[in-house]
Amino acid sequence: AQSVTQLDSQVPVFEEAPVELRCNYSSSVSVYLFWYVQYPNQGLQLLLKYLSGSTLVKGINGFEAEFNKSQTSFHLRKPSVHISDTAEYFCAVSGFTGNQFYFGTGTSLTVIP
């Protein structure tokens, strides 16, 4: 079985500063990894995904994430945040052996002007 841990429930950051949202997973099998974003009063939107290949994945809105198999991590980064990045961010894992699709508990990113 898989599980996902998002280490920070809330992350405040000043506008134009860099940000890293942390995600660790546990799994006994190989996995696919995802980051989703949820803006206020909206559903979830895919930011980026890792299926295979390069461990550095680029997504929409200037976000990127790095898959680190030895540390079982998939941290999300952005070099310079904007006010419009204020949202809830969810890390998710899916196993490709027929196992389950799990979400973390979310990280609330607040960008301060």
Distance in angstroms (rounded) separating the CA atoms of residues 68 and 2:
16
For residue 64, the one-letter residue type is E
Of 49, 46, 68, 47, nearest to 57 (Cα)? Answer: 49
Residue whose CB is less far from another protein, 14 or 96: 96
Question: Taking the complex as a whole, how short is the minimal distance between the CB of residue 35 and another protein, in angstroms?
Answer: 11
- Of 18-26, 31-39, 56-64, 79-87, the segment contacting another protein by CB under 8 A is 31-39
Question: Taking the complex as a whole, how short is the minimal distance between the CB of residue 46 and another protein, in angstroms?
Answer: 6
Q: How far apart are the first and last CA of the chain?
A: 41
Question: Taking the complex as a whole, how short is the minimal distance between the CB of residue 33 and another protein, in angstroms?
Answer: 11
86 is a site residue for another protein (CB under 8 A): no
Of 44, 74, 46, 48, nearest to 59 (Cα)? Answer: 48
Burial of 22 (0-12, 13-18, 19+ CB in 10 A): middle
Question: Taking the complex as a whole, how short is the minimal distance between the CB of residue 54 and another protein, in angstroms?
Answer: 16
30 is a site residue for another protein (CB under 8 A): no
Q: Residue numbers of the site for another protein (CB under 8 A)?
A: 6, 9, 32, 34, 36, 41-46, 49, 51, 90, 94-101, 103-106
